Chain A
Amino acid sequence: MSTLTARNKASRGSDRRNVIVLEDVSKQYPNGTRALQDVSLAIPDGDFVFLVGASGAGKSTIIRLLTRAEAPTAGRIEVDGEDVGRLTRSHVPHLRRKLGVVFQDFKLLPAKTVYENVAFALQVTGHPDDEVRERTDVALELVGLSKRRDHYPDQLSGGEQQRTAIARALVGKPPIVVADEPTGNLDPVTSWEIIQLLSRINELGTTLVMATHNQEIVNAMRKRVVALEHGSIVRDQAQGGYQHA
């Protein structure tokens, strides 16, 4: 994790490069739903950004566009210097390696242990065995699951499952982690633990984008808040709260 710390120190400067850029991005689904309309957003390296808004405001759509699960109808999306909208299918995997993704429903494989779930991300992207072992151990240590490494997901609490998923998102050392409602299925105390963990990961230098409608957390963290309503950005505030202050 020493490289992450180094990157963090370097990024403390005032003119940080933008790792995520959205320019006039619109997304309209074939059924006519306008999920996003002319959204522009720049996220500098090392930022922690909350995307807030009611269900259907467009938070998840932004995340799906960032990971290239979908392509924008109009506009330009750049992730770590790559024009996401123009990526060919064969280049999408390389984009995904730059984005660690965390979901509300964890998306763990039930037949694999904690260790195997995390190691899987490195194995399927072609890392050598010794590197897989070493980096998986480091990631499990970071999320505090070293002692639970041989447990299966159904033997874990919700918070532990989400920490496993976070370890999996981190293990490939992506410059950006994107979390879509990561606390949506968790109780308040556990939610706080997860936020503390994500915050620590951000402090180690990873850019963090988190979609949520957990007001308490957003208000307490005093991070940058981007509020969406009906597919448009209605507020973008440094050290903001869930509602307009």
Chain B
Amino acid sequence: MLRYIRYIGAQAWQGFWRNPVMSIASTATVAGMLLLSSFFVIAQRGLDVSLNFLQSKVELYLELDDNAKPSDILALKTRIESDPSVDHVLYVSKDEALTRLKEVADKTGQVSLADVATNPLPASLEVKMRDAQQTKQLASMMRDEVGKGVVTDVVDNPSVVDKVLTITRVLSIGGISVLGLMLFVTLFVIVNTIRIAVHARRDEIEIMQLVGATDSFVRWPFIIEGVLVGIFGASIALLVLAASAPPVMGAISGFLTIVPIDFGPLFALALAGSVLGFALVIGAIGAVISVRSYLR
């Protein structure tokens, strides 16, 4: 058994280098496909993380008239809370608003508010959204309330969310189509590479079959050759990713300072694992397809 495995390994290795141009071309194709896939996965993941962050931050601030009746404020709060896209509504009184501001000021130590005599801050309703996409609609509804005695101003920040949402959607659709195409091309290249390897050894295969070698004995070296192409491609892709990750991540964090992008500790490991696993599987599948047509 061990001898058989050694034989298969040696044959596959020989097969890989018998036609180095084709083997390297298909390895490069695999590496390119995996890099592109990884790029999409990383970008998607980054956008998901920042979208979650932004969504958790999405609030509508309704600044309230100092003279508004508490019962009217409560009525408005209840009305907003009944909207299914709203998570919850928080009432922040004038005093609370001032206390918060003081806390922030103390932390940053820039301005001393200790001796502010009157409170210039309005009371407000902070609306936390459950569905960030509905923020715009709710905001425009609330703007209609301005001037009716309760709400004085509506503050929202939906434009960032809108943009991230659009990018995410475009990236998903574009990414999946490009990946599908790449998958097809890669499979095609691997099938062709192995077919050339099989063709180069057709006399040997004929004699192997003649003297009673089993189909699996004939087939395995080629499958392992396909897997080799996969492993090499994955290694190249992972090396490029590892080398480019720190500078790229640095640039992204520098660009999006407000959004803390944290992929989690397992993300890199999971990505590397999937890249390698995917490469192995596609190499093996490509080889099986090309050998099958030869062994009938």
A interface residues with partner B (beta carbon < 8 Å): 67, 89-90, 93-97, 101, 107, 109, 120-121, 123-126, 128-129, 168, 172
Contact = CB atoms under 8 A, between A and B. Distances in A.
B114 interface: no
A125 B215 contact: no
A96 B210 contact: yes
A93 B214 contact: yes
21 contacts: A93-B209, A93-B212, A93-B213, A93-B214, A96-B212, A107-B203, A109-B203, A109-B204, A109-B207, A120-B208, A121-B207, A123-B7, A124-B208, A124-B217, A125-B211, A126-B4, A128-B3, A129-B3, A168-B211, A172-B211, A172-B212
A35 to B, nearest CB: 20
Nearest to B216: A90
B206 interface: yes
A146 to B, nearest CB: 21
A90 B214 contact: yes
Contacts of A172: 211-212
A128 B203 CA distance: 24
Contacts of B204: 109
Contacts of B203: 107, 109
Nearest to A121: B211
B213 A124 contact: yes
Contacts of A109: 203-204, 207
Nearest to A91: B214
Contacts of A128: 3
Residue from A109, A124, A129 with most neighbouring chain B CB atoms (10 Å): A124
Contacts of A126: 4, 217
Nearest to A112: B204
A168 B204 CA distance: 14
Given A107-B206, A109-B204, A124 B211 contact: yes
B6 to A, nearest CB: 10
A231 B206 CA distance: 27
Question: From DSSP, what is the main secondary structure of chain B's interface residues?
Answer: helix
A93 B209 CA distance: 7
Nearest to B201: A109
A124 B8 CA distance: 11
B15 to A, nearest CB: 14
Given A101-B210, A172-B211, 16 more contacts: A90-B214, A93-B212, A96-B209, A96-B210, A109-B204, A120-B207, A120-B211, A121-B211, A123-B7, A124-B208, A125-B212, A125-B213, A126-B4, A126-B217, A129-B3, A168-B211
Residue from A67, A96, A107, A129 with most neighbouring chain B CB atoms (10 Å): A96
A179 B207 CA distance: 15
B22 to A, nearest CB: 19
Interface string B6-19: 01000000000000
B254 to A, nearest CB: 59
Residue from B4, B207, B217 with most neighbouring chain A CB atoms (10 Å): B207
A172 B206 CA distance: 17
A129 B206 CA distance: 22
B29 to A, nearest CB: 29
B19 to A, nearest CB: 15
A126 B4 CA distance: 7
A89 B212 CA distance: 12
Nearest to B7: A123
A94 B212 CA distance: 6
Nearest to B218: A124
Residue from B211, B214, B217 with most neighbouring chain A CB atoms (10 Å): B211
B215 A90 contact: yes
Nearest to A94: B212
B133 to A, nearest CB: 58
B105 to A, nearest CB: 82
Contacts of B212: 93-97, 125, 172
B273 to A, nearest CB: 34
Nearest to B206: A107
Contacts of B207: 107, 109, 120-121
Nearest to A171: B211
Contacts of A93: 209, 212-215
Contacts of B215: 89-90, 93
Interface in B222-239: none
